[in-house]
Amino acid sequence: MNCKHDPLRHISYLRQCLSQDKKPLGLFLGAGCPLSIKIQSGEGTLPLIPDIVGITAIIRDTLTKSKEQASHFQKLEEHFVKDGNKDPKVEDMLSHIRALRTVVGKDEVRGLTAKVLDELDSKICQIIHEIADKTLLGNDTPYH
């Protein structure tokens, strides 16, 4: 599958999302900015907050090791392989989960129930929050 970025299509999607009343919306704005802030680690210097590839790797690693989520996450990953996307990013995962959630109803879709989809969505968002919730200190004043 050869994906091309079409800015006009994405602007149209953004307009549709913003025009919907009471529809949850999440955006990664300026997601690369924290890459310029380095912290010391046992491995040398690392970015304060990883890029999307790094965040995706952390999510994949965490969910693969999770007793509760491992089998469900594996099933989700299989969806992408079957659909020809062998390297989905966190945005792809969340979009896929939420798209399935809109059609699952009280049944299951592609082997995942509404409860499982909600749990995966919640866990991924929790991991992102833990990764991105960093305190910056400057002049003795913490900034979030």
Tens of pLDDT along the chain (144 residues)?
Answer: 556 677 888 888 878 777 766 666 666 656 567 777 788 778 788 888 888 899 999 999 999 999 999 999 999 999 999 999 989 999 999 999 999 999 998 889 999 999 999 999 999 999 999 998 887 766 555 554
Q: Can you read off the two tokens belonging to residue 127?
A: 């991991």
Phi-psi region of 14 (alpha: psi -120 to 50; beta: other; left: phi over 0): alpha
> Is residue 97 in some structural domain?
yes
To 10 degrees, the CA torsion angle through 52, 56, 62, 64?
180
Amino acid 73: pLDDT: 94
Report in angstroms the alpha-carbon separations of 46 from 43, 110, 118: 8, 38, 32
> Is residue 74 in some structural domain?
yes
Best CA proximity match to 128, nearest among 13, 17, 26: 26
> Is residue 57 in some structural domain?
yes
CA-to-CA distance for 37 and 124, rounded, in angstroms?
24
Domain range for 125 is: 50-133
> Is residue 85 in some structural domain?
yes
> Is residue 27 in some structural domain?
no
> Is residue 93 in some structural domain?
yes
Q: What's the domain count of the chain?
A: 1
